[in-house]
Amino acid sequence: MAEKINLKIDNIAVNIDEGSTILEAARKINIRIPTLCHHEDLCVAGNCRVCMVEQVDSDRLLPSCAMPVSEGMEILTNSLKVRSARKQVVELLVSEHRADCTRCYKNGKCELQELSSEYIVGENGFIDLVPLKNYSIDNFSPSIIKDDSKCIRCQRCVRTCNQLQNIGALSVAYKGEHMKVSSFYEKPMYEVVCTNCGQCINRCPTGALTEKTYFDEVWSALNSEKKHVVVQTAPAVRIALGEALGMPAGEIVTGKLVSALRRLGFNSVLDTDFTADLTIIEEGNELLQRLKKALVDGDTSVKLPMTTSCSPGWVKFIEHAFPEYLENVSTAKSPQQMFGALAKTFYAKKIGVEPENMVSISVMPCTAKKYEADRPEMRSSGYKDVDYVLTTRELALMIKQAGIDFASLPDDEYDSIMGESSGAAVIFGATGGVMEAALRTAYEVVTGREVPFENLNITPVRGMEDVKEATIKIENVLPEWSFLEGAELKTCVAHGLSNAKKVMEAVKAGTAEYHFIEIMACPGGCLGGGGQPIPTSPAIRKKRSEAIYREDALKPIRKSHENPEVVHIYEEFLKEPLGKKSHELLHTHYTERNRY
Amino acid sequence: MTEVKQLVKGLADQYGRNEECLLPILQGIVTSEQHISEDAMVEVARELNISAAQVYGTATFYSFLHTKPLGKYVIRVCKTITCMMHGKNQIIKELESLLKVNLGETTHDGKFTLMETNCLGQCHKGPAMLINDKPYTDLTPEKVREIVMMYRNKELRSN
Ligand code: SF4
Ligand code: SF4
Ligand code: SF4
Ligand code: FES
Ligand code: FES
């Protein structure tokens, strides 16, 4: 056990583990010290200096986020010296910041703005340096806007992209007054290795990194008489939307979400969970087909391990970083894109709407989905399959704009045909969820029995460990799967792209033998997606994860292949998994991309 | 293999492929190419298995690692406080009018680039400047004219 340290903060005694920082000690006794560069998910940077505190009998101020506690220390967090230093730090930051708050997307949600209002940064601060700077705005990407004039160079984004994601799309360039956060050669984010995961957006304290928004386009569609507007909602939205509308983390708000979408005027309120179930059928069958080809037909061209394909951040990552493994990625489209392709074909026909009069919207926990919807190959219906992608945050904003009191909304149900889903689809939103959903179905297809886990809960693939592995022994199989008798299916689950990279490097080095790998680009899976409510932290992600598994347990149907609407769409339209229609609408291909 | 690929590979073979080898490799590129091109940076990133943005960040941090093509003779005038007080501004004005370029630019014939730099350690003899690796101190506008003339004549002779 760690040694305990005794110290006093603002004359209150604290007892805390050795190695803790002053900031942590202060939080323990509910003293708030402002921070900007500090973030719970990231390593200490200590560069913003807004967290300075005074040590009694010492003439230096200390950065509390970086300074470990020591025995007998006496700290003041609110002395005159501290307050004036803090105010000056904020004033200096503002002097280089285009403080255009009333026109800023982060207005009301910005950490710099909050501090400026707390310390009343008035007219008498430092002179405004913004006119002298050559700041630029990069808004070429369909996912991300990078506005250097709002950047306070705290480097949270750089640490996120390097540490959590191990992409390094952003780095610090130049020095001194010219120092800036930059992509390779200051190229637009659209052209570099950025995966559009949006993790940096989730952690940027200001308006320097934000998602590109589409709510104005969606409002126009909703207000157009001629248009039939269809909306789909991803699994992870229903357990996080509440946070952006004043509710605590971990509330399941599925019913209120549906009510709100109806109130906003969407004509069909449908569920991405339906196509999540469909993904399991297509991807599960693809896996079994690959195994059969490899094991029975001895086809050496078959690529194993197969990896999932539903996370567009992961897909873009592998296109840049491991292009030699593109054939290992399942050809199944993500649930969002399967939905889009079916909405303007199958569904449009069913409800008698011309596809050109249909506008297809998705609400996603994700910023990479905006880029995915824009890919040229995502036009299987003959139209853009998904017209606009909104983040959870954008939908929350629309609900506010419409004057809806979200918390008091009654629960409502999704429309039918593409609105039904199983518990297996809900857990797509958590790391390990796709694996669990796939195993629930594949095991049963092969053996005719349910997976041998209590209540279908495949706990080895759940939880927040970096990389999880599980081996499932397949026994007493049905006759047509006799080649799998006694086989051990080796699976691996990773979340966050730095973990994905570790797994892919092991695969490349030949030190890991897997059949099936699930990868989600974001920490925790989609529940920690780049489009989710801000802030994010390990504790918040844990609450969201618990909510997802609660929602799964509450569902009457727990397995994708038992979703009646899925069964029905195969009977009526798709005919069979991996069939001709599926190939036209539900599968895709990938493109090798550059190294920078 | 392209030329730059070969160069970078050779440097990586020589210095190693750990992250701390980044700087010597970049210096090696500057020694042989004078500036680090976009392609060279991508190759360095590939060889060291790091992100290209990180290579760019390092290359732009150091004054002596160039990311843009420069003239044959790079003139760096010290801009730090002592030389500033000794009148580096007159020196720069003189150079600008002699070379007909602004600070940061290269002459049309590609011979001279005019830049500023931080302290050269010649403060006691300021104002000071470097032309490529050679220091010149106690500068006056007249002295600067002579020095530039000398380089120009050298170029004429070599043609
Ligand atoms: S980033 Fe924050 S401080 Fe800057 S303009 Fe936007 S709201 Fe204001
Ligand atoms: S979106 Fe993701 S990959 Fe792109 S810069 Fe941000 S953290 Fe890096
Ligand atoms: S873009 Fe945002 S997170 Fe990155 S350094 Fe600037 S303010 Fe910080
Ligand atoms: S929060 Fe401590 S230095 Fe930035
Ligand atoms: S200040 Fe110019 S050489 Fe030191």
Full set of structural domains in chain A with CATH: 4-78 (3.10.20.740), 93-211 (3.30.70.20), 229-274+336-408 (3.40.50.1780), 285-332+424-585 (3.40.950.10)
Contact A503, A494 (CB under 8 A): yes
Q: Return the ∠ at Cα A70 (arms to A69 and A72), rounded to 5°.
A: 120
> Is A169 within 8 Å of chain B by CB?
yes
> Is A173 within 8 Å of chain B by CB?
yes
Question: Is pLDDT at B126 greater than 80 in this prediction?
Answer: yes
The alpha-carbon gap from A170 to the nearest alpha carbon of chain B, in Å, equals 6
Domains of chain B by residue range? 3-61, 73-158
> What local confidence, expressed as pLDDT, does residue A215 receive?
98
Higher pLDDT, B157 or A206: A206
Rounded Cα distance between B65 and B24, Å, is 11
Average pLDDT of the segment spanning B110-139: 93
Average pLDDT of the segment spanning B127-134: 93
CB of A121 sitting under 6 A from ligand 1: no
Do B50 and A168 lie within an 8 Å CB cutoff?
yes
Q: What is the pLDDT of residues B11-69, one digit of tens each?
A: 999 999 999 999 999 999 999 988 999 999 999 999 999 999 999 999 999 988 999 88
Contacts of B42 in chain A (CB under 8 A): 184, 594-596
Question: Is pLDDT at B100 greater than 70 in this prediction?
Answer: yes
Rounded Cα distance between A539 and A191, Å, is 34
Place of tokens 């150091």: B62
Contact A456, A591 (CB under 8 A): no
- Beta carbon pairs, A and B, within 8 Å: 59
Contacts of A527 (CB under 8 A, 6+ apart): A236, A239, A240, A365, A429, A430, A541, A544, A545, A548
Is the link from the previous residue into A535 a cis peptide, with omega within 30 of 0?
A: yes
Ligand nearest to the CA of A205: 3
Q: What is the DSSP track for B19-68? A: GGGHHHHHHHHHHHHSS--HHHHHHHHHHHTS-HHHHHHHHHHSTTS-SS
The CA A171 to ligand 2 mean position distance, Å, reads: 11
The ipTM (two decimal places) reads: 0.91
In this structure, what token pair is assigned to residue A527? 């529940």
Rounded Cα distance between A478 and A493, Å, is 27
**For ligand 4, which residues put their CB under 6 angstroms from it?**
A 35-38, 46-51, 63, 65
CB of A199 sitting under 6 A from ligand 2: yes
Instruction: Give backbone dihedrals phi and psi of A581, rounded to 5 degrees, phi first.
Output: -60, -40
What residue owns the CA closest to ligand 3's atom 8?
A: A154
Question: Is pLDDT at B1 greater than 80 in this prediction?
Answer: no
Contacts of A267 (CB under 8 A, 6+ apart): A228, A229, A230
Place of tokens 């701390």: B20
> Is A184 within 8 Å of chain B by CB?
yes
> Is B18 within 8 Å of chain A by CB?
no
Strands (E), A33-162: 52-55, 61-63, 74-76, 137-138, 144-147
Contacts of A193 in chain B (CB under 8 A): 51-53
Strand order in the sheet with A12-17: A12-17, A4-9, A74-76, A52-55, A61-63
Instruction: Give backbone dihedrals phi and psi of A204, rounded to 5 degrees, phi first.
Output: -70, 125
pTM: predicted TM-score of the whole model, two decimal places = 0.93
Rounded Cα distance between B59 and A124, Å, is 38
Do B51 and A184 lie within an 8 Å CB cutoff?
yes
> What local confidence, expressed as pLDDT, does residue A450 receive?
95
Contacts of A192 in chain B (CB under 8 A): 52-53
> What local confidence, expressed as pLDDT, does residue A78 receive?
96
The CA A162 to ligand 3 mean position distance, Å, reads: 13
Do A168 and B41 lie within an 8 Å CB cutoff?
no
Neighbours of B94 (CB within 10 A): 18
The CA B33 to ligand 1 mean position distance, Å, reads: 43
CB of A107 sitting under 6 A from ligand 1: yes
Which of B117, B118, B122 for a ligand 5 pocket mutation test, highest count of atoms within 8 Å of Cβ? Answer: B122
**CA torsion through residues A505, A320, A188, B22, sign:** positive
Residue among A537, A494, A551, A501 nearest A517 (CA): A494
* Closest alpha carbon within chain A to B43: A595
Q: Which residues of A are the active-site residues?
A: 283, 286, 310, 330, 369, 372, 377, 526
> Is A508 within 8 Å of chain B by CB?
no
Mean pLDDT, 10 residues at a time, chain A of 596 residues: 91 97 97 97 96 93 97 96 95 94 96 93 84 94 98 98 97 94 96 98 98 98 97 98 97 98 98 97 95 90 96 98 97 98 97 97 98 97 98 98 98 95 96 96 94 94 96 93 92 98 97 96 98 98 97 96 96 96 96 94
Reported residue count of chain B is: 159
> What local confidence, expressed as pLDDT, does residue A1 receive?
64
Contacts of B57 in chain A (CB under 8 A): 171-173, 182
Rounded Cα distance between A280 and A335, Å, is 9
Q: Return the ∠ at Cα A28 (arms to A26 and A29), rounded to 5°.
A: 70
- CATH code of B73-158, in short, is 3.40.30.10
